[in-house]
A = this chain, B = another copy of it.
Amino acid sequence: MPEEQLTVQDLSESELLARIFPRLNHSPSILLGPGDDAALVAAPDGRTLISIDTQTQDQDFRLVWNNGYRTSGYDVGWKAAAQNLSDINAMGGSATSLVVSLTMPPATAVDWVEAFADGLTAAIRALGAPDCSVAGGDLGSGREIAVTVAVVGTLSGMAPVLRSGARPGDVVAVAGTLGRAAAGWALLESNVPLGTLSAGLLGLIDNQCRPVPPLSAGPLAARAGASSMLDVSDGLLRDGGRLAAASNVVLDFDPVALKIHSLPLEPAAALLGEEAISWVLGGGEDHGLLATFPAGIQLPQGFTAIGSVQAVVEPPGSGVRIAGQAADTVGWDHFAD
């Protein structure tokens, strides 16, 4: 029987782990790796950043999408690493390790799990997190695939960049892409067959399945003096609203600057009969950075200005505007309609 047909129920936990471990990279931050009840990771400045994120089958991805695309283990591993690395990036830090919990049905193919490990490693390398590797994990069974990654990282002695530091007069800037992952999601969910898509449109699906957060931009922003920052995981309006609320300011976006992000999405929007700007404003999962900088600071490499921070006028209070006009919050909420 070809090895591709092995499923995880055919192996013991230790046999499965023995197939995963050789596929992981090793960074010097890991003082003690997998094999004991906990791993030990360097925290050179006496502090550690920590965050956690879960992806669940049929909520965050489909194994087979409406347009025929099949989510690979590689995709899920890549995305799990990317979205966690992005959370450290958004604080101005650098990731030092991941711990990974993988829950899956017993009938899951072993090669899916191996590809998952490959995806984790590939994302760590390709996105540029050289000090990071997988320090440990947990395997379990469930009715659906669920991946939870916790990430720890270091600020290298710097102060964290918070959501709450934006001040009137600051410049609003973004690094990375906006709306591409949402356009990819719309294509995946559409009735347009995968085989008919151009390379440009397939690239949008790549952004959804294997996002490319700009990992060098976070520490650069911190060093440049960013006054606030977060990663855009739930949409520019929603995440911008969170930053505005935490800072008690108004973020006013420049529609011309937003258009730079929506124009490349017009072919996909035309194909699907949707509005490209709604993906730019409402789409998350590109894991770009939204940051504010005091006026007069040269924006660090990778950032472009998309608006300005203004003082709150009551009413309507803190929030997001586009050229001074109210912008409805259309980003992702996990439970509410």
Q: Which single member of B46, B48, B140 contacts A59 (CB below 8 Å)?
A: B140
Q: Mark A31-54, 1 if CB is under 8 A from B, else 0.
A: 110011111111111111111111
**Is A71 interfacial (CB 8 A cutoff)?**
no
**Is A146 interfacial (CB 8 A cutoff)?**
yes
A299 to B265, CA, bound (A): 68
**Is A16 interfacial (CB 8 A cutoff)?**
yes
**Is A148 interfacial (CB 8 A cutoff)?**
yes
**With known contacts A99-B150, A144-B143, A335-B12, A53–B160 Cβ distance under 8 A:** no
Quote the shortest CB–CB distance from A246 to chain B (angstroms): 7
Minimum CB distance partner of A99 in chain B: B52
- 20 A-B residue pairs with Cβ-Cβ distance under 8 Å, sorted by A, are A8-B335, A12-B333, A13-B333, A13-B334, A36-B90, A36-B91, A40-B91, A42-B46, A43-B43, A43-B46, A50-B152, A54-B140, A56-B141, A57-B142, A58-B143, A101-B148, A140-B334, A143-B143, A150-B150, A152-B152
Chain A: residues with Cβ within 8 Å of the partner, total of 74
Q: Which single member of B37, B45, B47, B60 contacts A51 (CB below 8 Å)?
A: B37
Complex contacts, A5 vs chain B, CB 8 Å? none
**Is A137 interfacial (CB 8 A cutoff)?**
yes
Quote the shortest CB–CB distance from A207 to chain B (angstroms): 20
**Is A285 interfacial (CB 8 A cutoff)?**
no
**With known contacts A44-B46, A52-B148, A136-B50, A88–B9 Cβ distance under 8 A:** no
Candidate in A8, A87, A106 with the most chain B CB atoms within 10 angstroms: A87
**A-B CB proximity, top 8 nearest:** A150-B150, A43-B43, A148-B148, A37-B90, A38-B51, A52-B99, A56-B142, A38-B49
Quote the shortest CB–CB distance from A187 to chain B (angstroms): 23
**Is A336 interfacial (CB 8 A cutoff)?**
yes
| Identical subunits present | 2
Complex contacts, A48 vs chain B, CB 8 Å? 40-41, 43, 48, 152
A150 to B147, CA, bound (A): 13
Interface contact B40-A160, CB-CB below 8 Å: yes
Complex contacts, A8 vs chain B, CB 8 Å? 335
**Is A11 interfacial (CB 8 A cutoff)?**
yes
**Is A167 interfacial (CB 8 A cutoff)?**
no
A24 to B22, CA, bound (A): 39
Interface contact B152-A11, CB-CB below 8 Å: no
**With known contacts A38-B87, A43-B48, A142–B144 Cβ distance under 8 A:** yes
Q: Which single member of B16, B50, B87, B146 contacts A142 (CB below 8 Å)?
A: B146
Quote the shortest CB–CB distance from A295 to chain B (angstroms): 23
**Is A300 interfacial (CB 8 A cutoff)?**
no
**Is A240 interfacial (CB 8 A cutoff)?**
no
